[in-house]
Amino acid sequence: MVEVGSPIIECVPNFSEGVSPEKVRAIVSAMKVEGVSLLDYSLDNDHNRSVVTIAGAPEAVAEAAIRAAGKAAELIDLTRQEGVHPRIGAADVIPFVPVANYALPQCAMLARQAGQQIWLRYGIPVYFYEAAAARPDRVNLEDVRRGQFEGLRDAVRKDAARRPDIGGPELHATAGASAVGARKFLIAYNIYLHDPDVAIARAIAKEIRASGGGMHGIKAMGVLAQGRAQV
C-alpha cells in the first residue's frame, strides 16, 4: 500500500530478447523487489525485444532495474541476437519516469546512481541519455545507439568520443552496454503500411521525427516486421 504523498516513479526497461518467453520471465522475476509493482510486459518476435513496465518507490524501482540488467546479461548474447530493432545492450535502455511527488531531475540523479551500480555489479558499461545525459551529444537515444552493438563495439576501440560514460572503455563482450536515462512519459505504437516497401516506412519516419526536422518530441523509425513495412 502506497502512502499518500509518497514518491512514485515508473521504469520501462527494454531488453534485447523477444523470442524466448522463458528468458523474459526470468528477467521479470529478477525484478521482484519489495515496493515495486509489475504493471506489464510484452514480447515482440520480429523486433526480438521485450518491454517491461514497473512502478513504485524510487530506490526500490532502481534496484529492480539494476537486477534486471544483471539477469539480462546472463541470458542474452548479442553476438547471436538478431532483430529489426536497434540495440546496443542486453538490457538496452532503462528509462526512469517521474509519476508522483518526484521530479525529473531526481529521476536523472537516480539514473546516474543506477548506472554506476550496473557497472560495479555486472561489468556492463553505461551511457546516460535524455535528462540524465552527461554530454549534450548524448541527449538523443538514437545518437547513443548509432551503429548498434556491432558498430559501437568497434567504434569505442577507435574513437574516445564514443566510449561509455561509466565503465569500459570497451563494451561487455556479450551484453554490450546499457543506455540509462530519465524522461517524461512516452507513448509508443506501431503502424503497418499497405505497401510492403520498407523504404517508404523509413522515409515517413525520417520526415516526422524531430531529429530529421519533423515534429517536436517525435521519435520514429521504419522497419520490416512480419513481412510488412512498419513505422
How many CB atoms sit inside 10 A of residue 35's CB? 15
Q: Which residue has the higher pLDDT, 150 or 45?
A: 150
Through-space distance between the first and last CA atoms of the chain, rounded to whole angstroms: 39
Is 142 part of any domain? yes
The confidence score (pLDDT) of residue 215 equals 74
9, 102 contact by CB (below 8 A): yes
The dihedrals phi and psi of 99, each to the nearest 5 degrees, come to -115, -55
Do 162 and 62 have their domain in common? yes
Residue 116 falls within a domain, yes or no?
Answer: yes
Of the candidates 47, 85, 194, 216, the residue annotated as catalytic is: 85
**CA gap 172, 24 in Å, rounded:** 20
Mind listing the pLDDT tens digit for each residue in 114-149? 999 999 999 999 999 999 999 999 999 999 999 999
Dihedral pair phi/psi, residue 51, rounded to 5°: -125, 130
Q: How many CA atoms lie within 13 A of 15 on its CB side?
A: 33
Task: Establish if 188 belongs to a structural domain.
Answer: no
The mean pLDDT value of the chain amounts to 90
Helix (H, G, I), strand (E, B) or coil at 91: strand
Residue 42 lies inside a defined structural domain of this protein = yes
pLDDT for 224 equals 67
pLDDT band at 85 (very low <50, low <70, confident <90, very high): confident
Shared domain for 176 and 211, answered yes or no, is no
Residues 30 and 102 in one domain: yes
pLDDT tens per residue across span 14-37: 999 999 999 999 999 999 999 999
Amino acid in the structure at residue 57: A
Domain assignment present for 222: yes
Query: Which residues are CB-neighbours of 2 under 8 A, at least 6 positions away?
Result: 8, 56, 57
Q: Are 156 and 217 found together in one domain? A: no
The total number of structural domains in the chain stands at 2
Over residues 202-227, mean pLDDT: 72
Q: Is 107 in the same domain as 209?
A: no
Range of the domain at 214: 198-230
Determine phi and psi for 93, rounding to 5 degrees.
-130, 140
Residue 111 has pLDDT above 60, yes or no: yes
- For residue 215, CA distances in Å to 142, 170, 220 come to 16, 35, 10
Same domain, 171 and 221: no
**What Å distances lie between residue 10 and 40, 61, 65, 118, 181, CA to CA?**
11, 7, 11, 18, 12
**Do both 149 and 222 map to the same domain?**
no
SS3 29: helix
- Are 205 and 111 members of one domain? no
Query: Could you tell me if residue 225 is inside a domain?
Result: yes
pLDDT at 201: 72
| CATH number for the domain harbouring residue 25 | 3.30.990.10
Model pLDDT, residue 218: 73
pLDDT in tens, 42-84: 998 888 999 999 999 999 999 999 999 999 999 999 999 988 8
Q: Is residue 194 annotated as a catalytic residue, yes or no? A: no
Q: Are residues 60 and 168 in the same domain?
A: yes
65 and 94 together in one domain: yes
Residue 54 lies in a domain: yes
Considering the domain architecture, whether residues 176 and 219 belong to the same structural domain is answered as: no
Residue 102 belongs to some domain of the structure? yes
Q: Are residues 154 and 62 in the same domain?
A: yes
**CA distance linking residue 116 with residue 110, whole number of Å:** 10
